[in-house]
Structure 1
Amino acid sequence: MEILNYTQLPNPEKLKEILISQAALDSIMVDKEESWLRVINFYKNYSEDIDMVKIDNGAGDHMFFLFSNYGTIIKGFDHESILSPYANDDEEIAKGIYDFVPKELMNLLDESIERDDVTFCIWRSKTDLLWKKSEVIIPADYQDGDDGEGFLLGLILTSADSWVAWARDYYEEQGERIQLDYVKKVYKHEGITKDLIEKINPDRDTEAVIKELEEIGFIKEI
């Protein structure tokens, strides 16, 4: 399923499962020394009882996902959006973006999360049944303005099929070698072996991948 808006996001547990699958595959495809080329990185225990995911398209746009005991918050930034703080002379965030965000979730957005670089914010407290998003005041002259939500949420690849389609474009010739059956095993969180890693990317150091996957909690042992 392609995610077009926040109402289509899966529950936080499923969302984290999808994101960690994508992060595992990025680890298989790209050396840690070149992690800036990865679109997604998963940071287990980024802070106490908090897991963080960052999706960065390398073109100035990003999303942070923070999973905590209080709930989940997603902060997105589309640098070309009219709602970007850099699109106005005062460089202020658009009014309304952080309105009504629960204090416990808002406190997760510290300086390292680039709190003021924001064009949309989505959250879901532990007691919420649905995802929420504040109404944002778009300048009168830009009623067709876009906060980048649909564009960035489209980087959440909910299935092995969608990841393979994306990877064959992103990784070009290297991506053309990727076979769907192997990627499905990653999305199902089945046991990842050195053989599976080599089948997805024969150029990668399997020991280095295993170490990374253990660090992010994707696998416990081989």
Structure 2
Amino acid sequence: MTAVELAERLPSIATVRALSQSFAVLDAILSPDGYATYTFDSGWAENQELASMDNGSGDEYSIVFTDSGAFIRGFDHESIMSPYADDDYALWPGLVESIPEQFAAQATEPAFCHHGDEEPFLAATVCLWRLHDDLSWRTGDVEFPPQEEGTDGSDWMFRLLTEGSPEAYRAYAAEYFEVSLDLAAVGEIFEHRPLTADLVQRINPRTDLDSLTETLVTIGYLAPK
């Protein structure tokens, strides 16, 4: 799967945002040490929210939600499309040239850039965007390499978002955290039900609700009234 196919499979901006918050809450419960793979910052910048994935091995993605819509950047560090594969750290042709002006700042955001020999460059092998009045997600006019040479990382980096189910998250958690989660409890987080002490314990008995207060505020997730 390439970014073009990913654009066809991703749900709406609102659903991507809601799913991203759910991933962040679940990862926070399962990662009380603070090293969550999925995070969400509801106050990342003025009128902007940020959903992130960082697997700790050099692969990452960022989804910025703005007043205009949403911008997605993904970076597969082993992809043939990585700017590190070019002596001048050039981005893959077509990746960012047609990004609308509403997301120009995100395409040069320092937090998404790495430092080359002379100047920073966007660490990206995947770029997608969607304005609120767009009917679907969009990509640049990219000519992808032959499949046998590798992909842009879309096929695995965004799998949880394209599958979008408690079952998909439970499978991820079984592999990453080596735990077998209560599917009904995961489903409650996907439904954005208020996070209670009992629900936290059902997901991870070694975590308590009080320790998650600050994280929940950052994520913008419902706390019990």
Q: Say whether the fold is shared (TM-score over 0.5).
A: yes
The percentage of aligned residue pairs carrying the same residue is: 29
1:149 aligns with 2:144: no
**Gapped runs of 5+ residues in structure 1?**
none
- Please state whether the residue corresponding to 2:134 is helix, strand or coil: coil
Contact 1:98 1:134 in 2 (8 A): yes
Query: TM-score scaled to structure 2, two decimals?
Result: 0.87
- Please state whether the residue corresponding to 1:52 is helix, strand or coil: strand
How many residues are matched?
A: 211
Contact 1:39 1:57 in 2 (8 A): yes
- Please state whether the residue corresponding to 1:198 is helix, strand or coil: helix
1:215 aligns with 2:213: no
Paired letter, 2:103: L
2:141 corresponding residue in structure 1: 135
- Please state whether the residue corresponding to 2:122 is helix, strand or coil: coil
Deviations 1:128-187, CA, capped at 9 Å, x for gaps: 11110112245xxx5334111112111435111111111112111xx12x2111111111
Paired letter, 2:152: D
1:63 corresponding residue in structure 2: 61
Give 1:106 deviation, angstroms: 2.0
**Gapped runs of 5+ residues in structure 2?**
114-120
Structure 2 CA distance for aligned equivalents of residues 192 and 106 of structure 1: 36
Paired letter, 1:98: V
- Please state whether the residue corresponding to 2:57 is helix, strand or coil: coil
**Range moving further from structure 2, 210-219 or 97-106:** 210-219
- Please state whether the residue corresponding to 1:132 is helix, strand or coil: coil
Give 1:220 deviation, angstroms: 4.1
Cα RMSD of the aligned pairs, angstroms, is: 1.8
2:118 corresponding residue in structure 1: none
1:159 corresponding residue in structure 2: 165
Structure 2 CA distance for aligned equivalents of residues 209 and 98 of structure 1: 37
Paired letter, 1:112: A
